[in-house]
Amino acid sequence: MPDIPAEVIAATNEKCRRLRDLIEAPEILIMPGAFNVLSALLFQRLGFEAVQGSSSAIANASGRPDLNIGRERTVALMSEIAGAVDVPVNADGEDGFGGPDEVRETVRAFVAGGVVGMNMEDGVHKDGRLSLLPLERQLEKITAFMESRRELGSEFVLNARTDAFLAIRDDRPAALAEAVRRGQAYAEAGAECVFTWGITDSETIRTFAKEVPAPVSVIAGPGSPSVPELEELGVARVSFGSLFLYAAVGGVKKLAEELLGPGTMTSLASGLSRDEMRALLGSRRG
């Protein structure tokens, strides 16, 4: 990959610092999941201070299942989103798209595209099953992440994700212990935020946030505590995976079913007006 211009590094670093400040602030950071440029523009216009890219939502919006679009397409789409808005954009970097060498290239590619940080998970998908990468190997990947950004002079942010609660489903105390063990190790290795998926009960969330010595992020959805409750539990950052895409497609489904049923169009009343859409697109950066 060619050298990244110094002005790109400097501009991205400014947003990296902004994202870090938002994560470390006393107030919880709400990061909606963008699935294309239009959704990111809407989130920015509504007042969200940062945007999370959802790899599964991007894949689904392209008519593909999750884990099926690869690094090149993910980087291209996330870079387009980052270039269209002024707020910091954090990408879903999956597992870094490989081992330590691939992680280094992933960091370079995202930084070159103006993305300010990425999630990197420790889950391993094989034959329809999810397991956890051995901790020492995940730490090697985090080391590669840190080395890559240091070589670039970048402040690219790591949101280190553990899938312990997804991989250990039949023993919740063991899952919590493993999530805490990994979260502590990821924080010690330099992760600015530690992210977990698969917990909705308040006491587990509180324990995880208390035991991990870094800002903690969780996925919220049906059955989760409210955003104010998550803040009270010690959560620093909350995201929503593919749920914004699901809600959007649900709106399209509702209108389509209305047209196929009674033939009315009342569902259109909740959509944007033409003027609102023009204003939204007119807010695009660049």
DSSP letters spanning 33-82: EESSHHHHHHHHHHT-S-EEE-HHHHHHHTT--TT-SHHHHHHHHHHHHH
Tokens of 77: 């789409």
Per-residue model confidence (pLDDT) at position 221: 93
Per-residue model confidence (pLDDT) at position 1: 66
Domain map of the chain by residue range? 6-249
Query: Which CATH architecture is the domain 6-249 placed in?
Result: Alpha-Beta Barrel (3.20)
Please name the residue ranges forming H helices in 113-242: 135-152, 164-167, 172-188, 202-211, 227-232
Name the 3-class secondary structure at 102: helix
Amino acid identity at 235:
V
pLDDT tens, per residue, the chain with 286 residues: 678 999 999 999 999 999 999 999 999 999 999 999 999 999 999 999 999 999 899 989 988 887 668 999 999 999 999 999 999 999 999 999 999 999 999 999 999 999 999 999 999 988 778 999 999 999 999 999 999 999 999 999 999 999 999 999 999 999 999 999 999 999 999 999 999 999 999 999 999 999 999 999 999 999 999 999 999 999 999 999 999 999 999 999 999 999 999 999 999 999 999 999 999 999 998 7
